């Protein structure tokens, strides 16, 4: 157990004392992680968003402002074609086709169209994810507006109903009163006795009385005739005596008979007639009473009906008011234009459009994979070739050859390029077989890959010249490759980095190379569109060559001196042993 | 003709003077030995001569031809390098190339035309007796052959001057002889040789001139004889072999007044400034002690011995100062 401890202790000491190894082995991964951590430690996404709209209304501008507040860079377009071209060139990450306004005036949902570069797989996810959040916010905002409108109208309806509730109560009270009054009228009317008197009047008795009186009258006439004869015998001239006697006699007779009829008890007696008339008198009195009573009732009923009339008039007025309010409510509710539940809940819908024809997943990954392979091969090969040369026994002789240092550097570079070109040829062969690559794209792609390979080779060579140990050099190469890969957008999208760092990463040769390959391989861009990026790569080549020359002039001599010192020491030790 | 002149050459590393105002010259056809203790600055001097280092001060002038003016080698180093061959302590060639490929590669880098180069390669392979191995990978041949190949690589462009740093280091005596023989042969072909070595016996064997470096300074330089001359009388030695009486001899010589006794196990070396007197007393001693001497040899001081003496004097002088 102790031995393990001693050995570990020794290993760590050796590692730490070999400065460059310690730097690379211990610090490089830590620095790599720290760098990546710092690079991606942000919740903000730096997307360049192209906004396409036929008219930049206040609504559109407001939405654009809200996006800008979230650190998105907004570029305005009026034509989708221009924006799509800029996506292909990498100037913008997505294009949004926005409606003129976001007001929902009918049951139709507003559609927002995304144009995305589906070849940037992780970016697609990020764009849809982050922008959907923004749209969800906007959609929620619009949804809230619609619901708020509906709710305010409902609130107004409630207030009006409450207000009219008292009217309805009034109607109810008045109606109840009318019912009560009408019941009263009903009972009053029911109480009016309009039944005819039931006594049967025997009007034949009056006839008999008439006949009897007529007979008596004729008798009286006879009596009066006698009287007339008497009067004739009298001194009165004879005519007078006769007329007077007759009339007197007749009248006396009729009177005597009439007296009999009036005093008689028979059926033709006056008593009988009197009884009859008494009976009629009673009936008439009774009828008079009833009619008086009815008259009183009718007077009361009239009053009741007047009240009912008033109540009903008031009820009608209240009902008119309620009807008017209901009309208002109906109008208010009719003014709610959005009634579709899905439009209310999701007033905005998004539609994703792809900027290129749908291809296989491999096609999208191909540019990244190609550059990835070229990068690691070139860096490692560059380092390895330089290390091989440096650690070769012939290095010292080569160093002292009448050959310029740049010739050695250039030959190493060309050796690398040759090997990488062979690999590129193999990759192209495979891509022609398995991917839908056209032959016409290959020369331009080969040129880009050669430029990329040159940059990576020179980086590898620079590492080779910088470090003395092969292991350290290899490790540094891998670390460098990993760093370039991590800040390339292949693993994590560049757009999730802070703006300043992201701008620097656009100069990452991996990013530039991948962008160039993507533009040629997927978007069929022409060489003129790529010239700027190619010039950047060329700039790298020149700078790296100068750096390598400087490093070589300093480090190589130092390395050889160190190597010679080691050999010298070794020889001296051998000599001392011999002695 | 002085093919190489070192004038007031000083080399400093981080303000530490490694070579201090060196002045000496090498004649065309010389085998010039540079000797010195470890760390004295021999290798630095050689690296300076081949242009690996630039001098901090002074200049190294090279005159390949009588009709040409001497040129500072550091002014036009790539041109000068075509005139120089250099072999370091460690063989410097590509182990994964064949012998012929190695020679071809370095020859081409010197800009030699293919036809001429093929001739040179054939000659060199024959000269170094490597013709039969020319198609073998360099890593597959013996150490001796590798040393010869290294020498061939240094001679492929027919240099005017061949500079060798410890050419026999790490070689066994047989291989050492082989290498020294080749160096001599190269010199016979007109190549001026500058050689730095710890093995002062081999320097003495092959060099006609030497320069002694001590603490970055040239303490002596000239022909071997010139360097040794002041010490020839003083530093002669008597080499004795007594076989089974060796121990008695060791005990006996202690009574003699000699400057130094070196016991080499089977032989004994006595150093004395009065060699005649010492020899007389030694004979008396062997008679008295009945010691049978198997061999007795009186030697002039070797270069090694002279070198040690010079270093000792120099250090004493430094201490006294």
Bridge-based pairing state of the strands B209-214 and B31-36: parallel
Note whether B43 contacts A: Cβ–Cβ < 8 A. yes
Q: Which of B87, B72, B120, B106 is nearest to B194 (CA)?
A: B87
From chain B, the residues in CB contact with A553 under 8 A are: none
Report the pLDDT value the prediction gives residue B159, as an integer from 0 to 100: 92
- CB-CB under 8 Å, B109 with A403: yes
Query: B40 — contact with chain A (CB < 8 Å)?
Result: no
Q: Which residues of A touch B (CB under 8 A)?
A: 392-404, 557, 560, 564, 567-568, 571-572, 574-575
Dihedral sign of CA atoms A174, A177, A179, A185 in order: negative
Nearest-CB residue to B109 (from A393, A401, A574):
A401
Q: Is the pLDDT of residue B222 over 80?
A: yes
Per-residue pLDDT, averaged over B290-298, amounts to 88
Confidence of residue A34 (pLDDT cuts 50, 70, 90): low
CB contact under 8 A, A401 and B89: no
> Averaged over A87-94, what is the pLDDT?
77
Q: Considering only residues A110 and A152, tell me which one the structure prediction assigns the higher pLDDT.
A: A152
Are A452 and A368 in contact by the 8 Å Cβ rule? The answer is: no
Q: Which residues contact A447 (CB under 8 A, 6 or more apart)?
A: A527, A534
**Residue pair A67/A80 in contact by the 8 Å Cβ criterion:** no
User: Which residues of B, range 182-201, sit inside 8 Å of A by Cβ?
Assistant: 198
Q: Looking at beta carbons, which residues of chain B come within 8 Å of A398?
A: 109
- The answer to whether B93 contacts A575, with C-beta atoms less than 8 Å apart, is no
Contacts of A557 in chain B (CB under 8 A): 52
Contacts of B89 in chain A (CB under 8 A): 564, 567-568, 571
The confidence score (pLDDT) of residue B90 equals 82
Mean of the pLDDT values across residues A512-527? 80
Q: What is the pLDDT at residue B272? A: 81
How confident is the model at residue A36, as a pLDDT? 61
Give dist(CA A509, CA A448) in Å, integer. Answer: 11
pLDDT tens track for B225-264: 888 888 877 767 888 998 888 888 888 888 888 888 888 8
Q: Is B90 on the interface with A (CB under 8 A)?
A: yes
pLDDT band at A542 (very low <50, low <70, confident <90, very high): very high
> Quick check: B281 pLDDT over 60?
yes
Cβ separation B91–A404 shorter than 8 A: no
* The two three-digit tokens of residue A251, written as one number: 């009248």
Q: CB within 8 A of A79, min separation 6: which ones?
A: A52
CA distances from A27 to A23, A33, A474, B72 (A): 5, 10, 15, 47
Locate the chain B residue with the closest alpha carbon to A398. Answer: B106
pLDDT for res B10: 94
Q: Find the Cα–Cα–Cα–Cα dihedral A88, A93, A99, A104, rounded to 10°.
A: 150
In this predicted structure, what is the pLDDT of residue A359? 61
Q: Cβ of B306: how many Cβ atoms within 10 Å?
A: 26
Shortest CA distance from B149: residue in chain A: A394
pLDDT digits (tens, 9 = 90+) for B20-78: 999 999 999 999 999 988 888 888 898 888 888 889 999 999 988 888 888 898 888 88
Chain B residues with beta carbon closer than 8 angstroms to that of A401: 81, 106, 109-110
Kindly tell me if the per-residue pLDDT of A322 is higher than 80. yes
**Residues of B with Cβ-Cβ distance to A404 under 8 angstroms:** 78
Q: What is the mean pLDDT of chain A?
A: 78
Of all residues in chain A, the one with the smallest CA distance to B155 is A397
DSSP result, B149-177: HHHHHHHTT--SEEEEESTTTT--HHHHH
What span, in angstroms and rounded, lies between the C-alpha atoms of B130 and A559?
Answer: 32
CA-nearest of A523, A489, A524 to A508 is A489
The span from the CA of A513 to the CA of A455, in Å, is: 10
B298 — contact with chain A (CB < 8 Å)? Answer: no
Percent of chain A scoring above 90 in pLDDT = 6
Most confidently predicted of A255-269, A439-453, A458-472? A458-472
User: How far is B279 from B293, CA to CA, in rounded Å?
Assistant: 13
The DSSP letter of residue B133 is G
Looking at mean pLDDT, say which of A6-10, A433-437, A497-501, B189-193 comes out highest.
Answer: B189-193
The sheet with strand B192-196 has its strands ordered as B84-87, B161-165, B192-196, B31-36, B209-214, B217-223
Q: Which of A408, A467, A406, A564 lies closest to B53, judged by CA? A: A564
Question: Is residue A285 predicted with pLDDT exceeding 80?
Answer: yes
Phi/psi for B92 (5° steps) reads -125, 95
Has residue A42 got a pLDDT over 60? no
Nearest CA among B187, B116, B99, B102 for reference residue B157: B116
Q: How far apart are CA A360 and CA A437, in angstroms?
A: 12
Q: Is the dihedral of CA B156, B162, B166, B168 positive or negative?
A: positive
Range of A334-343, A402-411, A507-516 with top mean pLDDT: A507-516
What is the pLDDT, as a whole number, of residue B131? 93
- Give the closest residue to A353 by CA, choosing from A538, A515, A157, A114: A114
Residue A33 has pLDDT above 50, yes or no: yes
Q: What is the DSSP letter of B301?
A: P
Nearest CA to A268 out of A215, A319, A309 is that of A215
Residue A261 near residue A294, CB atoms below 8 Å = no
Alpha-carbon distance B228 to A46, whole Å? Answer: 83
Tell me whether residues A564 and B93 touch, CB distance under 8 A.
Answer: no
Q: Which of A393, A400, A557 sits opposite B81 (nearest CB)?
A: A400
The confidence score (pLDDT) of residue A24 equals 59
pLDDT at A157: 85
For residue A200, pLDDT over 50 is answered with yes
Chain B residues with CB-CB distance to A402 below 8 A: 77-82, 109-111
Per-residue pLDDT at B85:
92
Find the DSSP H helices in B234-274: 246-253
Give the residue from B227, B237, B193 showing the smallest Cα distance to B303. Answer: B227
Considering only CB atoms, B52 lies closest to which of A400, A567, A574, namely A400
Instruction: Name the more confident of B251 and A260.
Output: B251
Q: What is the pLDDT of residue A575?
A: 60
A490 or B87, which is more confident? Answer: B87
Asked if residue A275 has pLDDT above 80, the reply is no
**Structure-token pair, residue B7:** 């004038």
| B166 interface with A at CB cutoff 8 Å | yes
Report the pLDDT value the prediction gives residue A217, as an integer from 0 to 100.
65
Question: With contact defined as beta carbons under 8 Å apart, do A469 and A20 qualify?
Answer: yes
Strand order in the sheet with B260-263: B260-263, B267-271, B237-241, B295-299
- Report helix, strand and coil shares of chain B as percent, to nearest 5: 40, 25, 30
With CB atoms and an 8 Å threshold, state whether B78 touches A572: no
Is residue A578's pLDDT more than 60? no
Cβ neighbours of B90 in A, within 8 Å: 393, 396, 567
Residue A155 has pLDDT above 80, yes or no: yes
How close is the nearest chain A Cα to the Cα of B15, in Å? 17
Of A397, A568, A574, the CB nearest to B92: A397
3-state helix/strand/coil string of A456-489: HHHHHHHHHHHCCCHHHHHHHHHHHHHHHHHCCC
Q: What is the pLDDT of residue A536?
A: 92
What residues pair up with B194 in beta bridges, in sequence order?
B32, B163
Q: Identify the CA nearest to B184 among candidates B162, B201, B200.
A: B162
Taking CB atoms and an 8 Å limit, are A400 and B111 in contact across chains? no
Looking at CA atoms only, how far is residue B44 from chain A in angstroms?
10
pLDDT for A44 equals: 55
What φ, ψ does residue A350 adopt, rounded to 5°? -110, 150
CB contact under 8 A, B111 and A572: no
CA-based nearest residue in chain A for residue B93: A394
Q: How far A390 CA lies from chain B's nearest CA (Å)?
A: 11
pLDDT single digits (tens) B93-150: 988 889 999 999 899 888 899 899 999 999 999 988 899 999 999 999 998 899 899 9
**Which residue among B110, B153, B166 places its CB closest to the CB of A571?**
B166
Q: Is the pLDDT assigned to residue A149 strictly greater than 50?
A: yes
- Closest to B94 (Cβ–Cβ): which among A392, A568, A571? A392
Q: What is the DSSP string of B191-228?
A: -EEEEE-S-HHHHHHH-SEEEEEETTEEEEEEEHHHHH
B106 lies within 8 A of chain A by CB = yes
Q: What is the mean pLDDT of residues A53-58?
A: 80
User: Is B92 in Cβ contact with A395 (below 8 Å)?
Assistant: yes
Give the closest-approach CA distance of A558 to chain B in angstroms.
Answer: 11
Tokens 């656009």, residue located = A506
Q: Which of A26-35, A412-421, B111-120 has the highest mean pLDDT?
A: B111-120
User: Which of A401, A404, A568 is closest, CB to CB, to B89?
Assistant: A568
Q: Which residues, listed in sequence order, are joined to residue A444 by a DSSP beta bridge?
A: none
Q: What is the pLDDT of residue A12?
A: 65
**From A393, A399, A575, residue closest to B93, measured CB to CB:** A393
What average pLDDT score do residues A442-461 get? 89
Residues from chain B contacting residue A395 (CB–CB below 8 Å) = 92
User: pLDDT at residue A203 above 70?
Assistant: no
Measured CA distances, A482 to A468, A486, A490, B57 (Å): 21, 6, 11, 47
Q: CA-CA distances (angstroms) from residue B181 to A266, B124, B194? A: 210, 14, 15
| Model confidence at A133: pLDDT above 50 | yes
Higher local confidence (pLDDT), B10 or A531: B10
Q: Is the pLDDT of residue A246 over 90?
A: no
pLDDT at B163 over 70: yes
Mean pLDDT of chain B: 88
For residue A393, what is the nearest residue in chain B, using CA coordinates? Answer: B92
Q: Taking Cα atoms as reference points, which of B35, B167, B21 lies closest to residue B92?
A: B167
- Tell me, what's the pLDDT at A579? 47
Neighboring chain B residues of A564 at a CB cutoff of 8 Å: 43, 47, 88-89
Q: pTM for this one?
A: 0.65
Tokens of residue A87, six digits: 């996506």
* Lowest-confidence pick of A33-47, A330-344, B134-148, B185-199: A33-47
Q: Which of the residue ranges A267-276, A391-400, B53-62, B224-233 has the most confident prediction, judged by mean pLDDT?
A: B53-62
pLDDT mean over B5-26: 91
Is a pLDDT exceeding 90 seen at residue A404? no
Considering only A309-318, A562-571, B19-28, which range has the smallest mean pLDDT? A562-571
Helices vs strands, H then E, count in chain A = 19, 5
**Which of chain A's residues have a Cβ under 8 Å away from the Cβ of B50?**
400
Least confident of A559-563, B114-118, B286-290, B311-315: A559-563
pLDDT at B37: 83
- Asked if B110's CB is within 8 angstroms of A402's CB, the reply is yes
């Amino acid at each position: 157990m102790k031995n393990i401890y001693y050995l570990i202790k020794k290993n760590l000491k050796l590692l730490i004392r070999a400065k460059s190894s310690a730097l690379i082995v211990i610090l490089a991964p830590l620095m790599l992680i720290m760098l990546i951590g710092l690079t991606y430690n942000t919740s903000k996404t730096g997307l360049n968003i192209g906004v396409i709209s036929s008219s930049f209304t206040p609504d559109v501008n407001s939405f654009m402002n809200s996006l800008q507040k979230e650190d998105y860079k907004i570029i305005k377009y009026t034509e989708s074609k221009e924006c799509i071209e800029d996506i292909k060139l990498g100037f913008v990450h997505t294009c949004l086709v926005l409606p003129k306004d976001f007001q929902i005036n009918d049951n139709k949902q507003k559609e927002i169209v995304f144009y995305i570069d589906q070849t940037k797989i992780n970016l697609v996810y990020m764009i849809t994810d982050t922008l959907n959040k923004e749209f969800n916010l906007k959609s929620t905002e619009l949804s809230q507006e619609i619901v708020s409108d509906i709710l305010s109208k409902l609130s107004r309806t409630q207030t009006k109903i409450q207000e009219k509730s008292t009217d309805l109560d009034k109607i109810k009270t008045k109606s109840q009163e009318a019912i009560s009054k009408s019941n009263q009228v009903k009972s009053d009317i029911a109480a009016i006795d309009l039944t005819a008197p039931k006594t049967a009047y025997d009007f034949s008795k009056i006839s008999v009385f008439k006949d009897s009186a007529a007979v008596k009258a004729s008798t009286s006439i006879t009596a009066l005739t006698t009287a007339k004869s008497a009067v004739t015998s009298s001194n009165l001239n004879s005519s007078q005596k006769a007329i007077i006697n007759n009339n007197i006699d007749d009248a006396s007779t009729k009177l005597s008979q009439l007296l009999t009829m009036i005093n008689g008890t028979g059926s033709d007696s006056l008593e009988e007639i009197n009884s009859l008339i008494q009976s009629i008198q009673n009936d008439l009195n009774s009828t008079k009473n009833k009619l008086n009573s009815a008259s009183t009732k009718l007077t009361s009923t009239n009053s009741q009906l007047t009240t009912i009339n008033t109540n009903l008039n008031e009820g009608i007025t209240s009902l008119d008011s309620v009807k008017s309010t209901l009309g208002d409510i109906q109008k208010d509710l009719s003014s709610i234009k959005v009634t579709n539940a899905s439009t209310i809940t999701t007033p905005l819908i998004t539609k994703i459009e792809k900027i290129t024809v749908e291809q296989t997943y491999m096609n999208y990954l191909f540019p990244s994979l190609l550059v990835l392979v070229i990068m690691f091969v070139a860096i490692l090969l560059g380092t390895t070739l330089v290390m091989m040369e440096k650690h070769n026994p012939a290095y010292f002789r080569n160093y002292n050859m009448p050959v310029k240092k740049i010739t050695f550097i250039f030959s190493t570079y060309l050796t690398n390029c040759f090997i990488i070109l062979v690999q590129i040829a193999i990759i192209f062969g495979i891509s022609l077989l398995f991917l839908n690559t056209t032959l016409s794209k290959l020369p331009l792609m080969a040129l880009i890959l050669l430029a990329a390979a040159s940059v990576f080779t020179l980086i590898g060579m620079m590492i080779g010249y910088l470090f003395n140990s092969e292991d350290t050099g290899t490790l540094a190469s891998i670390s460098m490759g990993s760093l370039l890969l991590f800040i390339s957008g292949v693993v994590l999208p560049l757009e999730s980095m802070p703006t300043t760092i992201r701008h620097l990463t656009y100069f990452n040769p991996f990013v530039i190379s991948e962008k160039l390959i993507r533009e040629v391989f997927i978007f069929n861009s022409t060489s003129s569109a790529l010239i700027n990026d190619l010039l950047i790569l060329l700039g790298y080549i020149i700078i790296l060559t100068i750096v390598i020359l400087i490093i070589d002039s300093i480090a190589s001599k130092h390395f050889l001196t160190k190597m010679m010192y080691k050999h010298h020491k070794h020889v001296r030790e051998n000599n001392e042993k011999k002695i | 003709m002085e093919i190489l002149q070192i004038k007031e050459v000083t080399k400093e590393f981080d303000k530490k003077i490694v070579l201090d105002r060196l002045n000496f010259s090498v004649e065309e056809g010389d085998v010039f030995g540079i000797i010195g203790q470890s760390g004295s600055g021999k290798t630095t001097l050689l690296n300076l001569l081949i242009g690996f280092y630039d001098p901090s001060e002074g200049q190294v002038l090279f005159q390949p031809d009588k009709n040409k003016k001497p040129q500072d080698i550091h002014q036009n180093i790539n041109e000068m390098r075509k005139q120089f061959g250099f072999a370091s302590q460690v063989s410097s060639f590509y182990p994964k190339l064949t012998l012929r490929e190695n020679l071809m590669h370095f020859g081409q880098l010197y800009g030699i035309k293919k036809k001429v180069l093929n001739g040179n390669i054939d000659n060199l392979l024959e000269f170094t007796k490597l013709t039969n191995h020319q198609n073998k990978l360099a890593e597959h041949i013996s150490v001796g052959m590798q040393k010869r190949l290294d020498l061939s690589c240094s001679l492929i462009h027919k240099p005017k001057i061949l500079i060798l740093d410890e050419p026999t280091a790490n070689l066994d005596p047989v291989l050492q002889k082989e290498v020294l023989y080749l160096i001599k042969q190269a010199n016979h072909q007109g190549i001026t040789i500058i050689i730095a070595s710890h093995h002062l016996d081999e320097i003495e064997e092959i060099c006609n001139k030497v320069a002694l470096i001590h603490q970055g300074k040239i303490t002596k330089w000239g022909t071997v004889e010139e360097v040794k001359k002041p010490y020839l009388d003083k530093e002669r030695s008597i080499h004795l072999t007594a076989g089974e009486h060796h121990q008695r001899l060791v005990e006996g010589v202690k009574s003699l007044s000699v400057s130094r006794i070196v016991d080499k196990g089977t032989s004994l070396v006595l150093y004395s400034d009065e060699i005649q007197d010492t020899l007389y007393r030694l004979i008396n001693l062997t008679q008295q002690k009945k010691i049978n001497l198997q061999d007795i040899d009186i030697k002039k001081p070797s270069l090694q011995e002279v070198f040690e003496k010079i270093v000792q004097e120099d250090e004493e002088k430094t201490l006294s100062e």
